[in-house]
Amino acid sequence: MKFNCMHCKTLLSIHSTEVGSIVNCPKCGNLVEVPTITPTPAPSISADTEKLAVCLTDLITETEQGNKTMRDIHLMLAFGLGLFIVVLAIYVADSILQLF
């Protein structure tokens, strides 16, 4: 298990059999009581939070790109429909003009 030294906050790694015992911190040399309940080490928390933040940012970016693609498709469809109407109108007008 891993825990932080209460004196210098160094991440210490000890055997689970040493839980509840008092060990010497290799960094600051102070006696440290090994906690029975493992507090999640602070560096690991921030790393996980950073990973989560990166994941969320990626997700948001992907969603934005997806929305943009959908907008582009809608724009193309609208443009195609508009072009079709214009061509149809010209064809109809031409047909009507040829009647006279």
Q: Which residues bind Zn ion (CB under 5 A)?
A: 5, 7-8, 10, 25, 27-28
- CB contact set of 12 (below 8 Å; sequence gap of 6+): 2, 3, 4, 5, 23, 25, 26, 32
For Zn ion, the closer CB: 14 or 27:
27
Shortest CA distance to 1 belongs to which of 43, 34, 46?
Answer: 34
**Shortest Å distance, C-beta 50 to Zn ion:** 25
For Zn ion, the closer CB: 8 or 70:
8
For Zn ion, the closer CB: 44 or 69:
44
**Shortest Å distance, C-beta 62 to Zn ion:** 43
For Zn ion, the closer CB: 6 or 93:
6
**Shortest Å distance, C-beta 11 to Zn ion:** 10
**Shortest Å distance, C-beta 72 to Zn ion:** 58
Contacts by 6-9, CB closer than 8 A, 24 or more apart = 6/30, 6/32, 6/33, 7/32, 9/42
Query: Which neighbouring-strand residues pair with 12?
Result: 3
